[in-house]
Amino acid sequence: MIEFPKDFLWGAAISAYQTEGNNLNSDWWDFEKKAGLKDASGLACRHYEFFREDFALASLLNLRALRLSIEWSRIEPQAGQFCEKEIEHYREVVSVLRERNLEPVVTLHHFTNPLWFARLGGWQNKKSTDYFLRYVEKITLALCGQVRFWVTINEPMVYIYHSFILGFWPPQEKSFFKALQARNNLIKAHIKTYRLIQDIYQRKNLAKPLISIANSMQAFVPCSRSLKNRIAVYLREKYFNHVFLDRLKKSGALDFLGINYYTRSLVEVERWGLRNLFLDICKKNHSLLPKNSLGWDIYPEGMYSVLLGLAKYRLPVFILENGICTDDDSQRWDFIRGHLKSIYLAMQKGVKVWGYLYWSLMDNFEWDKGFTPRFGLIEVDYATYKRKPRDSAREFAAVCKTGRLDLDAE
């Protein structure tokens, strides 16, 4: 039996675009149609209408924290035109969370942008940061009385990788140069957002907010100890896992380390070359580990090594996403249990962890992969929009209630 601290924040995460439905003014809405994705987000989970019911379920599951995101394109559907009705909607969302004793963890940018912003060049535009800050100020002023935890940008490196290097997501660029431009603007956006939010709280005499990013981290494991592979692992750890944390910490713009962890990546570099060193992955299919329904290795040991690798920052950690998509719910509980064990072991080694948010509270629109991957603690029936907590949710709820986890139990 292991036991987590009494004040450990147990919870789950969602994002606006993946759950709300009808985000008509977002760049993703446009992209889905143009790219002819197999599933378009459409009504998603209709969470925009059903958020009260969803939060009621979250609190029945003994969760104490809920991470969600604000859809910028709702707040500012046209450049410079802010929609009071939508601001009011999120005010309501956050106050319902509070009524349910769920600590809101609010993300300001979770992969999607307003279409007008994308059409102006998105994160490559020199003015992108100014545009973003304008929206941040509006929403911070509206929510500051009720929100303590802010996440500025979700997984900036994953966003850059998919949108500017692989070209899978809008704006579908494949350019290291453009990726760098976007990266620099996102770094700038975070630092300025950090200062702006801190400033607003100070002016209003509110308790200091806690601000970070949601930093995606993978365990990079080399297939062999060849020099190419070792250099690749070094580079990937530095540029995928740590670059944002390093830069933001240096600017004094992080109050904690927001971490998303899902899987490992097997590194096998075919030949010398910058693209190879950064992008080559093992194609031999020789991993014997169990996988999720998207084929990602299930590797709880990686959670442990990633957490220990954060010691140099001397900041507390908050796990903002960790989860599995699977059609076999018993695999979900095994996954959660394995990862909680790794977190516990890392805490025994001195890593300070504030909380754990499972991805996701409910099944939702998994970007280009559509509705097939099922990540939810709660099952969503997309024909009726009925919600049904899974068995794994009940297992997790018991841990959330007591803070205790029996590692020997079946």
Residues contributing to the site for ligand FCB (CB under 6 A)? 15, 18, 154-155, 158, 216, 260, 321, 359, 366-367, 375
Nearer to ligand FCB among residue 18 and residue 185 (C-beta): 18
Nearer to ligand FCB among residue 155 and residue 334 (C-beta): 155
Q: Find the shortest distance in angstroms from Cβ 323 to ligand FCB.
A: 7
Nearer to ligand FCB among residue 18 and residue 113 (C-beta): 18
Q: Find the shortest distance in angstroms from Cβ 133 to ligand FCB.
A: 22
Q: Find the shortest distance in angstroms from Cβ 19 to ligand FCB.
A: 10
Q: Identify whether the C-beta of residue 41 lies closer than 8 Å to the C-beta of residue 18.
A: yes
Q: Distance (Å, rounded) from C-alpha 152 to C-alpha 106?
A: 8
Nearest partner of 320 among 128, 154, 159, 146, judged by Cα: 154
Q: Find the shortest distance in angstroms from Cβ 270 to ligand FCB.
A: 26
Q: Find the shortest distance in angstroms from Cβ 15 to ligand FCB.
A: 5
Structure tokens at 386: 């009925």
Nearer to ligand FCB among residue 47 and residue 228 (C-beta): 47
- The torsion defined by the Cα of 198, 201, 202 and 206, in degrees rounded to 10, comes to -140
Structure tokens at 125: 């535009």
Nearest partner of 66 among 146, 17, 29, 11, judged by Cα: 11
Q: Distance (Å, rounded) from C-alpha 193 to C-alpha 310?
A: 23
Peptide bond into 360 cis (omega under 30): yes
Q: Identify whether the C-beta of residue 76 lies closer than 8 Å to the C-beta of residue 108.
A: no
Helices 391-402, 329-348: axis angle to 10 degrees equals 20
Nearer to ligand FCB among residue 69 and residue 185 (C-beta): 69
Q: Find the shortest distance in angstroms from Cβ 154 to ligand FCB.
A: 5
The residues that bridge with 10 in the sheet, in sequence order, are 356
Q: Find the shortest distance in angstroms from Cβ 369 to ligand FCB.
A: 8
Give 228's contacts (C-beta < 8 A, 6+ positions apart): 269, 271, 272, 276, 277
Nearer to ligand FCB among residue 15 and residue 163 (C-beta): 15
Report the chain's C-alpha Rg in angstroms.
Answer: 20
Q: Find the shortest distance in angstroms from Cβ 252 to ligand FCB.
A: 25
Rounded alpha-carbon distances, angstroms, from residue 19 to 105, 184, 233, 366, 377: 16, 29, 35, 10, 14
Q: Find the shortest distance in angstroms from Cβ 373 to ligand FCB.
A: 7
Give the number of residues written for the chain.
Answer: 410
Q: Find the shortest distance in angstroms from Cβ 374 to ligand FCB.
A: 11
Q: Distance (Å, rounded) from C-alpha 133 to C-alpha 153?
A: 12
Nearer to ligand FCB among residue 35 and residue 223 (C-beta): 35
The phi, psi pair for 2, rounded to 5°, reads -115, 155
Amino acid at 399: V
Residue nearest to ligand FCB (CB): 155
Nearer to ligand FCB among residue 4 and residue 164 (C-beta): 164
Give 27's contacts (C-beta < 8 A, 6+ positions apart): 73, 112, 113, 114, 115, 117, 118, 122, 170, 171
Nearer to ligand FCB among residue 73 and residue 154 (C-beta): 154
DSSP letters along 113-168, please?
-BHHHHHTTGGGSTTHHHHHHHHHHHHHHHHTTT--EEEEEE-HHHHHIIIIIS--
Q: Find the shortest distance in angstroms from Cβ 332 to ligand FCB.
A: 13
Nearer to ligand FCB among residue 201 and residue 359 (C-beta): 359
Q: Identify whether the C-beta of residue 321 lies closer than 8 Å to the C-beta of residue 215.
A: no
Nearer to ligand FCB among residue 201 and residue 375 (C-beta): 375
